[in-house]
Structure formats: C-alpha cells, structure tokens
Amino acid sequence: MKSNIFCIFAPAKMITTFDCITPEGIRTFNSLLEGSHTLTVTTHTHPDGDALGSASALVCHLRQARGMDAVAVLPDSPSSTVRPIIPDGAPFLFLDTEPEACLERIRRSDLVILLDGNGFSRTEGLQAAFEASGARKVLIDHHLNPEKDSFGLVFSTPDISSASELLFFVLMELPEVGGDAARLPADTARALMTGMTTDTNNFANSVFPSTLEMASALLAAGVDRDAILASLYNNYRENRVRLMGYLQYEDMRITPEGMAYMVATREIMDRFGAEEGETEGLVNVPLSIGRVRMSILLKESDGHFRVSIRSKRGTSAQQCALDWFHGGGHENAAGGKLFWPGDIPAPEDAAAYLENVSRQCLK
Ligand SMILES: [Mn+2]
C-alpha cells in the first residue's frame, strides 16, 4: 500500500538556547573570524570521535562556507578506527608525523580554536606552542573547569552531549548559516552528527533535548545516519572483536563492591595484533551487568596505564579519576593515568591497586 503520509521540513528556529551562546559571544566570534587570516583548530591527545568530528566540522565549515585558511593541528595521529571521520581533503597536521609543519603553522596563526578539551594542557606536546602563540584564542568545549583565562572567548557548558553538539549550536548562529542546518557544508553536517553519535555512545548517554533537536535538524538537512553508523560500528577488524571477547572472558574481574576492571597489557594487545583505539567502547560493556556500578579499563603505555572509567548514576567516575588516577572528566565518564614506579611498584601490581580503589571508592 502506498503511504500517503509525508512531511515537509522547513528550516525552523532552534528551540534550545544555551546561556554560554550569547548574541555578544556570537558577534565576537564572527568578528574574530572576519579579522583572522590563518586559523588553526586543535583538540585533545588520543583524539576520539568527538574530537575528530568537531575539529573536522569546524575546519570544513571555515574553508567551505567562509573560504578561510583553516587547518587542524593535532598532538597525535588518530587511530585507524576513528581516522575515517576526517573528510577527504580536510587539511590535518599531526605532531608525531609532521612536527615542524605543526609548530610552524601555530607560529603563523592569528586565531586558534580549541575544541573538546578544557585547556591547552589537553594538547600535551603542543601545549607550549599554543601558550607561546600571540594568536587570539577561542574555546568551544563541554568539559568541567574550562581554563577561561587562557582564552579571549569561551563557549563552554557541561550540559550538552558533546563538543560537536556545542559547535553545531554556535555555527547555527553564524550569519552564513542563519539557523538553517541545510546551509552547513555536507562535510560539516556529517562530522557533527558523527562526533555527537560517538560521544553519546549512539544515543545511550548524555542525551539532552538539544541533542535530539540537533540530530533532527541534521537528518532533515540530508545527513545519512545509516552510513555514519555503518562506518562507525560495522567496520571493525576481526582482531578487535576477538580481543574484546578475550578481555571480557579471561581478564575481567568484578570486586565484591561492584567494580569491574580489565587490564589490557601490551602483551595481550600484541598477541591480538591490536592497534591504538581498538579497545574503544570496551569499558562500557561491564556496565551491562546489573551489579556492576563502575567499570575501569587499564591500557598499558610507556611507564603508565591509560585509565578509562565509566559509572552508573549515583557513582562518580569523575571523583574516582580525580582521587586515584591523576585525571578527571564527566560525572559518569572519566579518565586518567596510573604510573609505575610511583602509584604502583610495577605493572603487575595494578590489580591490587584496583581492588583497593574499589574498596575506597565504592564503600
Ligand atoms: Mn567530547
């Protein structure tokens, strides 16, 4: 039977407003863009989907919708799992592969925009270069405790899904977009949807009314969400799926207090031929167990473990990261580091440390 239901999408004004996006802030941002010639966009180390999505979206918007010289300069190369988020032809420089070009670009920049990180410390190897730069600086971020003093202009709120979502609502206010998502370049619209999708774990967490409003506007503007999902979630290597299975079956421990933890040592990662980024999302899996309140994944690096923490409502991943792992983040999604020697004598002592964290954090 032929459907006689049809919809007419007209560009509608966004319902959501954010306190951090004021008319004055938008005017300032617009005049900063108009007065700048060499723009550099950056984001945090070990870039995830939101970092790459927001950086890609902004670079493509500035180049395609405003004809500006915008380049992304990142502290390290993205893993193969998230690298396809960068649209073809979008100029990205990485400190680990092109250090001179990165530093030269920062030196020449007259406007720097940091996305998805609350300060330049999140850019690690690029921090000194950004801090020494005389460029004007803008922050667009959704983490707690933004380092406001380092920036001339700040768009920041934790009450949003992602940096990609915050950037969407900023871009919508710019004159060339005028509240009509269909006027965003296609690369920008797709990257924004991708970044938001990854940071919400495909609409599983940190979803606000504004998040669905953004998704609705981008879908109406023609973004192909099925293609995004296929490239994000149905495009892994076999190694990753087997590694995830191994860590869940052989490695995961659950403490009496309800903390699940897994330790991905270099030995295990090598055995499965795992690449950087291939444990992405694994830390969420143990939360599907009823009695698990917090999940921690350790991943071996040089002289330390990188720590990912997720928690259910009522348990603070953020507090745990602050108190035990030199880190921070959001209430239910945080991260940090565990050093040896220092926090623990040797990597083998990680499990004993985690058992103690469980007793202290979840008592
Ligand atoms: Mn983010």
* pLDDT tens track for 103-127: 999 999 999 999 999 999 999 999 9
**In the predicted structure, residue 282 carries a pLDDT above the cut 90:** yes
Q: Ligand 1 centroid to 138 CA: how many Å?
A: 16
Using the mean position of ligand 1's atoms as its centre, give its distance from the Cα of residue 51 in Å: 6
Residue 214: pLDDT above 80? yes
Q: Torsion over CA of 71, 76, 82 and 86, rounded to 10 degrees? A: 10
CA of 85 to the centre of ligand 1 (A): 14
Distance 77 CA to ligand 1 centre (A): 17
Q: Edge-to-edge strands of the sheet including 304-311?
A: 253-254, 259-264, 294-300, 304-311, 333-339, 328-330
* Residues 80-95, mean pLDDT to the nearest whole number: 96
pLDDT at 12: 58
Q: Residue 4: its pLDDT value, please?
A: 53
CA separation for the pair 155, 195 (Å, rounded):
17
User: Phi-psi region for residue 281, left (φ > 0), alpha (ψ -120 to 50) or beta?
Assistant: left
pLDDT tens readout for residues 65-84:
999 999 999 999 999 889 99
> For position 142, what pLDDT does the model report?
96
Let me know if 308 is exposed, middle or buried by CB neighbors in 10 A (0-12, 13-18, 19+).
buried
Query: Mean pLDDT, to the nearest integer, of 313-338?
Result: 94
Task: Tell me the CA–centroid distance for residue 158 and ligand 1, in Å.
Answer: 10
Give the model's pLDDT for residue 295: 98
Does residue 144 surpass a pLDDT of 50?
yes
- What is the Å distance from ligand 1's center to 211 Cα? 13
**Rounded distance, CA 166 to CA 54, Å?**
9
85 pLDDT exceeds 80?
A: yes
pLDDT band at 209, cuts 50/70/90?
very high
Q: What pLDDT does 7 receive? A: 53
Give 6 Cα–ligand 1 centroid separation in angstroms.
35
pTM: 0.89
pLDDT digits (tens, 9 = 90+) for 33-68: 999 999 999 999 999 999 999 999 999 999 999 999
Q: How far is the CA of 48 from the centre of ligand 1 (A)?
A: 8
Asked if pLDDT for residue 276 goes beyond 90, the answer is no
% of residues, the chain, pLDDT over 90: 90
Distance 162 CA to ligand 1 centre (A): 5
Asked if residue 9 has pLDDT above 60, the reply is no
Beta strands 333-339 and 304-311: pairing type? antiparallel
Asked if residues 49 and 197 have their Cβ atoms less than 8 Å apart, the reply is yes
Q: List pLDDT tens digits, range 160-194.
A: 999 999 999 999 999 999 999 999 999 999 999 99
- If DSSP codes are grouped into helix, strand and coil, which group holds residue 229? helix
Ligand 1 centroid to 250 CA: how many Å? 31
Show the domains of the chain with their CATH numbers: 23-233 (3.90.1640.10), 238-361 (3.10.310.30)
Identify which of 106, 95, 98, 94 has the alpha carbon closest to the alpha carbon of residue 132. 106
Two structure tokens written together for 352: 């004993």
Distance 341 CA to ligand 1 centre (A): 31
Query: How far, in Å, is the centroid of ligand 1 from the Cα of 345?
Result: 33
Q: Which two tokens stand for residue 57?
A: 């979206």
Residue closest to 62 by CA, chosen among 164, 181, 171, 215: 171
Chain-wide mean pLDDT for the chain? 95
Tens digits of per-residue pLDDT, 257-268? 999 999 999 999
Distance (Å) from CA 87 to ligand 1 centroid = 19
Amino acid 1: pLDDT:
42
Angle at 145 between CA 143 and CA 146, to 5 degrees: 75
From the CA of 119, how far away is ligand 1's center (Å)? 13
**Ligand 1 mean position, distance from CA 166 (Å):** 10
